[in-house]
Amino acid sequence: MKTYQGNPATQWLCALTTAAAICWSGQAGAVENIEKEELKFGFIKLTDMAPLAIAYEKGFFEDEGLYVQLEAQANWKVLLDRVINGELDGAHMLAGQPLGATIGFGTKADVITAFSMDLNGNGITVSNGIWRQMKAHVSMADGKPVHPIKASALKPVVDKYKAEGKPFNMGMVFPVSTHNYELRYWLAAGGIQPGYYAPPQDISGQINADALLSVTPPPQMPATLEAGTIYGYCVGEPWNQQAVFKGIGVPVVTDYEIWKDNPEKVFGVSKAWADKYPNTHLAVVKSLIRAAMWLDADNNKNRPEAVKILSDSAYVGADYEVIANSMTGTFEYEKGDKRPLPDFNVFFRYNATYPYYSDAIWYLTQMRRWGQINEYKPDSWYRNIAKKVYRPDIYMAAAKELIAEGKAKAADFPADDESGFKPPQSEFIDGIVYDGSKPNEYLAKFAIGLKGKQRVVDGKVVE
Amino acid sequence: MNNKLIKFFTITGLTWFVPVVRICNGDNPRQQIKALWMAMGVPVVAFIGFLMLWNAVAQQIQTSLGALPGPVAVWEEVDSLIEDHYAEREKEAAFYERQHKRNEKKLARNPNATVKIRSYTGKPTYLDQIVTSLYTVFSGFLLAIFVAVPLGILCGMNRVFNIALNPLIQVFKPVSPLAWLPIVTLIVSAVYVTNDDSWFEKSFLTSAITVTLCSLWPTLINTAVGVSSVEQDLVNVGRVLRLNYSTQIKKIILPSALPYIFTGMRLSLGVGWMVLIAAEMLAQNPGLGKFVWDEFQNGSSHSLSKIMVAVFTIGIIGFILDRIMHSLENIFSFGKAI
């Protein structure tokens, strides 16, 4: 009797199958049943879109079975509209955008976020001419300005413009942008009134303003400053360092100095999308967490590689040196005045990617402070909106899967009993303490800005 | 043979080569060399002059992105864009290979699993953008022709219809693409629902429809003029023979009006190409316009040269499109100039 041994091809196939099965087991735990594998995400040309570029280039998306296309968008408005109407599956967003859309300031739509993209990363730049006038009021040590520079140094300049009847124009990137609130925070802390909104009639945000703030898309900031349309702006990187390289402006303060480790961009998707594709959403968040970990791994040792990827014309596209300035832990203020700032861009450490309710509430307090929310809201309202928009539950589900797969450690993430509220934070440029659980109490501490039952009616603040 | 060649060059508008053919033919060399100098020499010398002037001026202008790039810098950028294209193609091949491997593994684990190959997700290269723009402009242009020619014929044949349509034509003709774009974008977004296997991207539709809206007018107007100026004798012959409507159009009106229609189409394509680039820039739809805008936003030290490469590409492609339409016009006008 002849024993069946099988032909060599079959044996080879068996061996291959076994090998493949072993290889596959390494991937076990990847999100099953992805509802939508082909995705398109939008971004704005800024260094803090890095987690998206890294997740793509390092294959983290593909590891989760996602085939993602990344597409640069013209401005924040176009980006938000495209996420809402479904042309984009998700996008790199300003933290205020999902919140603003949910409460209906500007566009009304349900947009949520389960992933915060970074901490810090912005700066305020003024033109060379304004800097010369400001410098007289800045305290110096060893021939160099003492940082942080407060807006009180800018106040005499603004007052002079006001006395001469000339408008003092500054740029920010979007009405609900971090940049708008940071610039306003800095100005107000230095005694300069940045103006109120009074929706729905007046959404220019220039009521009673000493400094007139208007919208310019981030990559156009340097060109607009150079053209003299604005005297200063608040924007993300690399557009502050670009001004230094071009010799057209001087960054005077970074957002790290305005509010240490402030939350910046988020990854936003429409609520309808998230409800329809929950597994896909989870897989996206997993890839992004891995990208953020990669960006901050081993004391930023991957940053030079990240800068190289970002300088590709399809991503940020600015020159390597310009992007490297801030991404590798330094920041150049006045030309030649390069200082170490290791936390200028934080992508993962200090739980940077976790969507804290208290972060959402800070944005809502600023919307209230400047009249974008033009009526009193109880503390519970702030909490409810934050819970509607920020989704730590999805984030933690993704984190748990990564831990189970051995791709992350439990210690890298907040504890299970985490409340979503950071302890009160005091490291603001004006020293005011922020406690996310008491938004109205927080608002009452500001000298400039709406508080209590105040409203803006016909260009006046009334009780 | 040579006469045919000369005729070919004349019709295609490549009159540069006519003297060369004649010289090969041994046809009065002195006169032909003079003709050659006029046809090729002068333009080439003028172009070299332009390059030198550009080079000289470029060095004087300092922009915030460095000196204005001269011809050499721009030419180098062409190289780097082509290199970039091939690098991207390599990444694409690797992408597909990874997918194949993944699918094999999946099949090995479960032979009944459904596997699928997804298209490449990387960035479109410069050459891809050119192809996208060409595809979009032709789609929009063809759509414009399908609307404009029948409407034009109706206008030309029927006085009442012509009077009825005239105000609309007069009002919509001068509207800039930048004004149509938001309307088209909003309507397409509202009406056209995409899913995973839609035929077109929304962005493609908005660009193409904007091109259509801006480029249909010259064809419409020219067709109407062409049809209404068909010789009355021919129309009468048709009546005497009692030809039915469609035969009249096919046998009498279209042949007489064709030269006008083609002139209109040539103008339309020219307008369409210009409009497309503007629309792509503004709406960030894929294509050369998006390339220019992205580079403007990048603000890298290579951005200006890349934008200039795009300007030349747009110009040269526009020129070639015009030549093609010009040849068609020559062929269909049967030697009659309009």
Please compute the mean of the pLDDT values over residues A297-307 and round it to a whole number: 93
Nearest to A222 among B282, B294, B299 (CB): B299
* Contact across the interface for A87 and B121, Cβ inside 8 Å: no
Say yes or no to pLDDT of B326 above 50: yes
Name residues 217-256 of chain B within 8 A of A (Cβ). Answer: none
On the question of pLDDT at B64 being above 80, the answer is no
Token duo for residue A286: 């997993």
Smallest CA–CA distance from A225 into chain B, residue: B64
A410: which residues sit within 8 A by CB, 6+ positions away?
A: A403
Span B11-36, pLDDT tens digits:
777 777 777 777 777 777 788 788 88
Asked if pLDDT for residue B95 goes beyond 70, the answer is: yes
Which residue of B108, B118, B298 is in closest CB contact with A318? B298
Q: Which residue of A has its CA nearest to B204?
A: A87
Does the beta-carbon distance from B109 to A69 stay under 8 Å?
no
Q: Is residue A228 over pLDDT 80?
A: yes
- Closest partner residue to B284 among A37, A67, A73, by Cβ? A73
Q: How far apart are CA A19 and CA A13, in angstroms?
A: 10
CA distance, residue A424 to nearest chain B CA (Å): 39
CB of B136 within 8 Å of a chain A CB? The answer is: no
Mean pLDDT for chain B overall: 85
Q: pLDDT tier at B194 (50, 70, 90 boundaries)?
A: low
Contacts of A60 in chain B (CB under 8 A): none
Cα→Cα distances A341→A309, A328, A352, Å: 21, 9, 17
B182, pLDDT greater than 90:
no
A88 and A82 Cβ atoms separated by less than 8 Å = yes
pTM for the whole structure: 0.82
Tokens describing residue A112: 């949520």
pLDDT higher for A172 or B248?
A172
Structure tokens at A263: 């939350």
Q: What is the pLDDT of residue A30?
A: 58
Instruction: Say yes or no for a CB contact (<8 Å) between B98 and A62.
Output: yes
- List of long-range contacts for B228-231, beta carbons under 8 Å, 24+ apart: B228/B155, B228/B156, B228/B157, B228/B162, B229/B257, B229/B260, B230/B156, B230/B256, B230/B257, B231/B256
Is A272 in the B-facing interface, judged by CB distances under 8 Å? Answer: no
Min mean pLDDT across A356-365, B5-14, B69-78, B102-111 is at B5-14
CB contact under 8 A, A248 and B64: yes
What mean pLDDT comes out for the span A130-145? 91
Eight-state DSSP code of residue B196: T
pLDDT of residue B59: 83
Instruction: Reduce the DSSP state of residue A448 to 3 states and report it.
Output: coil
pLDDT above 90 (res A137): yes
Restricting to A residues 65-94, those with a Cβ less than 8 Å away from any Cβ of B are: 67-70, 72-74, 78, 85-87
Segments in chain B forming alpha helices (H): 2-12, 18-24, 29-36, 42-60, 71-109, 126-157, 159-172, 177-191, 202-228, 232-240, 245-247, 254-283, 288-298, 303-332
Among residues of chain B, what percentage have pLDDT more than 70? Answer: 96
Cβ atoms of A422 and A259 within 8 Å: the answer is: no
Considering only CA atoms, which of B293, B311, B265, B306 is closest in space to residue B137? B265
- The residue that leads in pLDDT, A242 or A282, is A282
Contact status, residue B278 vs residue B221, Cβ threshold 8 Å:
no
Q: What is the mean pLDDT of residues A448-461?
A: 89
Count Cβ neighbours within 10 Å for each residue of B215-250 and write b for 16 or more, e otherwise: bbbbbbbbbbbbbbebeeeeeeebeeeeeeeeebbe
Residue from the list A21, A67, A317 with its beta carbon closest to the beta carbon of B121 = A67
B108 contacts A219? CB cut-off 8 A: no
Contacts of A374 (CB under 8 A, 6+ apart): A197, A198, A199, A450, A455, A456
Percent of chain A with pLDDT over 90: 70
Q: Please indicate whether, in this complex, the C-beta atoms of A87 and B189 are within 8 angstroms of each other.
A: yes
Q: Are B289 and B280 in contact (CB under 8 A)?
A: yes
Q: What is the mean pLDDT of chain A?
A: 89
Distance from CA of B32 to the nearest CA of A (A): 50
Contact A432, A446 (CB under 8 A): yes
Q: Quote the CA–CA distance of B251 and B172 in Å, as a whole number.
A: 32
Q: For position B105, what pLDDT does the model report?
A: 84
A23–B contact, CB cutoff 8 A? yes
Q: Which of A20, A69, A223 sits opposite B121 (nearest CB)?
A: A69
Q: Which two tokens stand for residue B312?
A: 């030349």
Q: What is the pLDDT of residue B25?
A: 75
Tell me whether A246 touches chain B (CB under 8 Å). yes
Q: Tell me, what's the pLDDT at B197?
A: 61
pLDDT range class, residue B335, cuts 50, 70, 90: low
Q: Give the pLDDT of residue A24.
A: 41
Q: Place A352 in a pLDDT band, splitting at 50, 70 and 90.
A: very high
Note the pLDDT tens digit of each residue in A204-214.
889 999 999 99
User: Per-residue pLDDT averaged across B36-51, rounded?
Assistant: 88
For residues B268 and B216, give the distance between their C-alpha atoms in angstroms, rounded to a whole number.
6
Mutate to test the interface with A, among B63, B96, B121, B197 (most CBs of A within 10 A): B121
Output the pLDDT for position B30: 80
Query: Which of these ranges, A195-204, A318-327, B149-158, B239-248, has the smallest mean pLDDT?
Result: B239-248
Q: Which residue in the set B64, B98, B118 is minimally distant from A226, CB to CB? A: B64
Side chain identity, residue B90? E
Question: Taking CB atoms and an 8 Å cut-off, how many pairs form between chains A and B?
Answer: 86
Q: Are strands A67-72 and A38-43 parallel, antiparallel or unpaired?
A: parallel
Helix (H) or strand (E) holding A379: helix A379-389
The verdict on B191 touching A (C-beta cutoff 8 Å) is no
Phi first, then psi: what are they for A169, rounded to 5°? -95, 135
- Tens-digit pLDDT profile for residues A13-53: 444 444 444 344 444 445 668 889 889 999 998 899 999 99
**Chain A residues in contact with B306 (beta carbon < 8 A):** 313
Asked if the Cβ–Cβ distance from B297 to A45 is below 8 Å, we say yes
Chain B hits for A87, CB-CB cut-off 8 Å, are 189, 194, 202-203
Cα separation, B54 vs B32, whole angstroms:
32
Chain B residues closer than 8 Å to A24 by CB: 105-106, 108-109
Say if residue B186's pLDDT is above 90: no
Asked if A219 lies within 8 A of B298 by C-beta distance, the reply is yes
Q: In this complex, do B64 and A311 lie within 8 Å of one another by their Cβ atoms?
A: no
* Cα B119 to the center of its chain, rounded Å: 26
pLDDT(A439) > 90: yes
